[in-house]
Amino acid sequence: MATQIEAKRIAAVLTEQRQTIVRRWLDTVVTKTRGRRTSAEVEQELEPMFDALASALNGGASDVSDGQLDELRAMLAEYSRSRARQGFTPSETALAIFMLRDAVISTISEREPSALGEIAGLSRMLDDLGLVTFEAYAQTRESVITNQAEQLLELSTPVVKVWDGIVAVPLVGTLDSARTQVVMESLLQTLVSTGSAHAIIDITGVPAVDTQVAQHLLNTVVAARLMGAQCVISGIRPQIAQTIVALGIEFGDIATKATLADALRLTLQRAGLEIRKIAKTA
Amino acid sequence: MSERVPILKVGQVLIVSIAFDLSDETTLALQQDLSARIVETSARGVIIDISGLEIVDSFIGRMLSTIASMSSVLDAETVVVGMRPAVAITLTELGLSLGGVRTALNAEKGFELLRELSVFADFGTGEDAAWQASVDGAGHVPR
Amino acid sequence: MVPAMSLVSAAAPAQQLQIASDADVVRVRQAVRALAIAAALSIVDQTKLVTAASELARNTLVHGGGGSARLERVVNGVRTGIRATFVDDGPGIADVERALAGGNSTAGGLGLGLSGSRRLVDEFELETSRGTGTRVSVTKWKR
């Protein structure tokens, strides 16, 4: 549809044939979703979309980016999100729009064949809207996965209290940028909530470190320092040390130790604490 | 219509608690008020609590380091306490270092730090110093 | 079939705020914060955005001789974000390269504010020319 006038003509056709088109549309969708949605549910969800489309077209919307289609787009996005959460496939979800297109074309070719030419533009718009449902679906699935990943992350990167005022973060597994940032924020928050001024970040369990991760670790230590806490990074294995040097990363005056034990020793010293052997009484 | 940040005196330490969105005007006023109070009270330490600040931008960052330098000239040590993690992360990414201003996690640790810096001759909590000054000849400490 | 899908549209009417005084800079900060919270940005992202907005609003006031800020929630497909645009009719930025390089220059704070702000946001657009004024637009998306 190149023009607003065509859009309005199509709107008129759609409105006139509304009953037939909607009936066909809803029946097809119910059939294709294999009875997982009842007729009534489908009607409740989809009928308003038809009206939103007709009204936007009546207002002259000739392109999918037209503001008048915002309402329909929002409905589609919500529809897709709920489908995604309920475990429908992406095809079943986009189906709704593609079936509408089919219903429109079949009805118009039967009832008003002369309008078929104009329907071509509408068909394109409906395809675009079908893709909107795909995107919304994909985004919802992604966020479900991200939420699960975050929960997994929190479980796998606990910040533990080693002593009064000293916490440790034993990192295990591959570190990526996202995960390191989560750890960073979690550590800093824990420093505040436990009133700890010392932290040991142990990367013994981390097989490899790249520039981004090293940068995040450095930023964590700098941020902690800004807050008034000191960190020691421990568990730097020879391979990682080599990588760090090769990458040209400067740790500057940030303390790094090969083992957690060494880091603990340094931290206790900084915290003004010492561990002494006590003579056992028999 | 400028709000002024209240400055409290606890013994030989001045405490400033910033709990709202500072305008640049209020920030400058604070700098001036603080230097005046330090001289007035012969304060030896300044604690600036920024736990109420949701952001620290370059202007506020400069204010903090200016206050620290200025206090130092007036023979008082400054400690900035209570920086929020999100603020620390933002400053780190902004590349702002607060010019070496001393920081501590909270006011209590701030006092500890001031004590370590030997700011006070016989420092307990600031309250002790205030009470000691109020002890009358009969040895009663007014509450 | 390649549809025009990456359309950024405004999800609600934009807020227009004038920047003519110190208090206006605070108002801009508060407005940006409210928008960021409503868009459910994480605390760290909120802080970064508000800090960047504070820097840019101040630049508009101090270096641009006053101007305005346009704040809006934007939508790109199914992503939501906040966009803040600062406009002034000031003298423009003479040496854009240097301003964007920033670093630790504290001269008037312009350098650090501009380059620092860029690091804190996802999208950064700058239009400026001597004698015509400056327009900076920053966007932060919800992750």
The minimal CB distance from B104 to the residues A189, A196, A228 is found for: A228
Give the other-Cβ count within 10 Å of B130's Cβ.
13
| Mean per-residue pLDDT over chain C, rounded | 85
Q: What is the mean pLDDT of residues A9-19?
A: 86
pLDDT at B82: 96
Q: Per-residue confidence at A136, pLDDT binned at 50, 70, 90? A: confident
Q: Contacts of residue B85 in chain C, CB cutoff 8 Å?
A: 44
A134 or A1, greater pLDDT: A134
Q: What is the mean pLDDT of residues A56-62?
A: 86
Q: Contacts of residue C26 in chain B, CB cutoff 8 Å?
A: 21-23
pLDDT at A41: 83
Angle, helices C43-62 vs B85-94, to 10°: value is: 50
pLDDT at A271: 92
For residue B79, the chain A residue with the least C-alpha distance is: A228
pLDDT at A126: 87
Angle, helices A177-194 vs A116-156, to 10°: value is: 50
pLDDT at B127 over 90: no
pLDDT at C136 over 60: yes
Give the max Cα distance, chain A: 107
pLDDT at A201 over 80: yes
Q: How far is CA B98 from the centre of its chain?
A: 14
Q: Please write the tens of the pLDDT for every residue from B8-40.
A: 999 999 999 998 788 888 989 999 999 999 999
pLDDT at C135 over 70: yes
pLDDT at A130: 87
Q: Where are the alpha helices (DSSP H) in B45-123?
A: 58-73, 85-94, 107-116
pLDDT at A128 over 90: no
Q: What is the mean pLDDT of residues C78-94?
A: 91
ipTM score above 0.85: no
Of the spans A86-95, A238-247, B133-142, C124-133, which averages the highest pLDDT?
Answer: C124-133
Q: Please write the tens of the pLDDT for every residue from C30-48.
A: 999 999 999 999 999 999 9
N-to-C CA span, chain B: 37
Q: Contacts of residue C120 in chain B, CB cutoff 8 Å?
A: 90, 93-94
Given an 8 Å threshold on Cβ–Cβ distance, is B85 in contact with A227?
yes
Q: Please write the tens of the pLDDT for every residue from B46-93.
A: 999 999 999 998 889 889 999 999 999 999 999 999 999 999 999 988
The minimal CB distance from A139 to the residues C1, C44, C78 is found for: C78
Question: What are the two backbone dihedrals, phi and then psi, of residue B107, each rounded to the nearest 5 degrees?
Answer: -60, -40
pLDDT at C32: 97
pLDDT at A282: 67
Q: Per-residue confidence at A243, pLDDT binned at 50, 70, 90? A: confident
Give the other-Cβ count within 10 Å of A183's Cβ.
23
For the CA atoms of A220, A223, A224, A228, the dihedral, rounded to the nearest 10 degrees, stands at 170
Residue whose pair of structure tokens reads 């800079």 in the numeric block: C25
Given an 8 Å threshold on Cβ–Cβ distance, is B24 in contact with C47?
no
pLDDT at B143: 44
pTM: 0.70
Under DSSP, the state recorded for C84 is E
- CA angle, corner C111, sides to C109 and C117, nearest 5? 95
Under DSSP, the state recorded for C90 is S
Q: Where are the alpha helices (DSSP H) in C3-94?
A: 22-38, 43-62
Are A133 and A76 in contact, with CB atoms under 8 Å apart?
yes
Q: Per-residue confidence at A66, pLDDT binned at 50, 70, 90? A: confident
Given an 8 Å threshold on Cβ–Cβ distance, is C54 in contact with B55?
yes
Are A260 and A234 in contact, with CB atoms under 8 Å apart?
yes
pLDDT at A154: 65
- Tell me, yes or no, if C44 comes closer than 8 A to chain A by beta carbon: yes
Q: Contacts of residue C112 in chain B, CB cutoff 8 Å?
A: 58, 94-96
Q: What is the mean pLDDT of residues B94-101?
A: 80
For residue C117, the chain B residue with the least C-alpha distance is: B94
Q: Is B28 exposed, middle or buried (0-12, 13-18, 19+ CB in 10 A)?
A: middle
Q: Contacts of residue B85 in chain A, CB cutoff 8 Å?
A: 185, 188-189, 191-192, 223, 227
Percent with pLDDT over 70 in chain C: 85
Given an 8 Å threshold on Cβ–Cβ distance, is A185 in contact with B85?
yes
